[in-house]
Structure 1
């Protein structure tokens, strides 16, 4: 079995409010700041409220989706008076927690999100970096309050654009269902348990534990599906079918109901068997996405340990 060693993961950033109406991260970060959780054994923790203006307004973003602003081009673009606040904020976060791709960047960046979709707890990552995959494996083995899945977004875009990509290693925790602008105790506690387990894993890793490799299951993004639309007005003409609603990660086969038109007709899924996720996510209406589709893959991860000095 392949083995990889890494430098200690001692500088960790936990971010909430990257989307200002996703309340769990906002309140968990505030609570950690109140409790002054900034050093846990070998782990120094930086807590960040990513988009304070969006949080104050209880909106996803102010002018531009902050979680799409971390490409090299946007991070290096000149800031003028007319630049969106969210882009300025992305560059501030990159200066504070990065710079992205540099040795100065935090060792691990964990960004907390909520979805209106019935997805349980998901660890979203952009690559097959073994560190997030090991943390996912550990959380999944210990988590009692919700199913835990890994989603790999690597195939969906050529360059990482999310806040978690600023760290040397990074991932997002996405938990739902929770309406935007609403706080739910059960969802809050799921995320808190996940964050506590992540820190627990980091302590063990930094203290010299070897984590054995092996196979983990992940969902790998294939494509996005839009709602049926009126060809003239471009307005949607159907909603998610009741058989698909709340059934994220249940295999969608050709001919299965996908949408129900406002006049009562069922629109069936066409194409290959795939797994839907982010089904009927509120924030994706503006992006013209009804749901994403993924394949289920087996990822073999190497064993990992801290480099011996």
Structure 2
């Protein structure tokens, strides 16, 4: 791909900002509540502008879990957005989050359809020392990657990373997958059930800069191409466990704790058993750890996740003109007729 090639992409008319998908991750909860209060002022300002305003939908995704300040009520909502989960039979005894996922799919989707919102930004907190991360299912979604690059430039004092969950062999399952484009904005460290002002402020800045990018893009700004570092998740490692009780037998080693995205070399300390023994990383290649000792992942059997880092070249992008969009739609209609 030529560096100076410009990719023309459809306008982002509808954007959803979601908080409270996990009810005890409070930065997103409080931010969406604040944005809902500010929305009337924003809409009035955009009405006075010449260009078409972007429609921003603010969503509190899991209100029952939020009321109880719990990650979820019955099951993890952020695992309920596969096509099978959204379309299969639903009994009267179905978990609350299964019912709620269908309500959200009707509101923001349907997933995979032309009617789905153009972009979903789902807000999350982690107890791990990860800074601000965008987590996406694609390493070639130029919209998500350009938004990330814009955040890097506008938020230079905050560590930012782009995490790629490769689902080429399985289906995406999280709320952000309902949109045509989507990502989770994950920021920490912050304990669950707690809101820290610095973490909240960083998330608010990230959302504001993301929405600014969307408006710049829609107004015709050409964003130049370049390179972005992408961390592609390779595997998870569980805690050492007792074979009979399945209880964990070790904690993250002190030399690894809080060192998310610091390269883990074969032989480096990984765990420290409760009797004091050091257990070392036995992998054959150096990898980058993240979600180190994430509180919510104990139940999922994940002590750390490991990723490979590589540089991805992203092309220059601009919004399609109305004529280009009409030509695309006509071409799509012709293909359907054939």
Same fold (TM over 0.5): yes
Following the alignment from structure 2 to structure 1, what is the Cα–Cα distance between the partners of residues 166 and 220?
30
SS in structure 2 at match of 1:103 = coil
Given candidates 274, 277, 286, the residue that maps to 1:273 is 286
Report the alpha carbon displacement of residue 78 of structure 1 after superposing the two structures with TM: 2.1
| Structure 1 equivalent of residue 201 of structure 2 | 189
2:301 and 2:120 map into 1 onto residues whose CA distance is 29
Partner of 2:327: none
Segments of 4+ moved more than 2 angstroms: 36-42
Q: Separation in 2 of the partners of 1:36 and 1:252?
A: 44
- In 2: Cα distance, 1:15 partner to 1:48 partner: 5
Displacement, 1:34? 1.5
What SS class does the counterpart of residue 110 from structure 1 fall into? strand
The answer for the alignment partner of 1:72 in structure 2 is 83
After the TM superposition, which residues 65-144 of structure 1 pair with which residues of structure 2 at under 5 Å, given as runs?
65-127=76-138, 128-144=140-156
2:28 to 17, 25, 39: 25
Look up the SS of the partner of 1:8 in the other structure: coil
Q: Which residue of 1 aligns with 2:177?
A: 165
Q: CA deviation at 1:157?
A: 5.8
TM-score by length of 2: 0.89
Cα separation, partners in 2 of 1:157 and 1:243, compared to 1, 3 Å:
farther
1:225/1:21 CA distance change after superposition, 3 Å = same
C-alpha distance in structure 1 between counterparts of 2:29 and 2:37, whole Å:
12
How far does the alpha carbon of each residue in 1:156-209 deviate from its partner, in whole angstroms, 9 at most, with x for none? 861110100001110110000000000000000000000010011011100001
Q: How many residues align?
A: 309
Measured on the aligned residues, the alpha-carbon RMSD in Å equals 1.2
In 2, Cα distance between equivalents of 1:301 and 1:75: 33
The gaps in structure 1 that reach 5 residues or longer are: none
Deviation at 1:36, TM superposition (A): 2.3
Listed as ranges, the gaps of 5+ residues in structure 2 are 47-52, 323-338
* 1:248 maps onto 2:260 in alignment: yes
Q: Give the structure 1 partner of residue 317 of structure 2.
A: 304
User: How far, CA to CA, are the matches of 1:34 and 1:53 in structure 2?
Assistant: 21
1: CA distance, partners of 2:8 / 2:72: 38
Aligned to 1:60: 71
1:29-40 → structure 2 map (5 Å cutoff): 29-36=32-39, 39=43
Inter-partner Cα distance in structure 2 for 1:92 and 1:46: 15
Query: 1:145, 1:190 within 8 Å by CA — same for their partners in 2?
Result: no
Give me the TM-score of the superposition, normalised by structure 1.
Answer: 0.98
Looking at CA atoms only, which structure, 1 or 2, has the larger radius of gyration?
A: 2
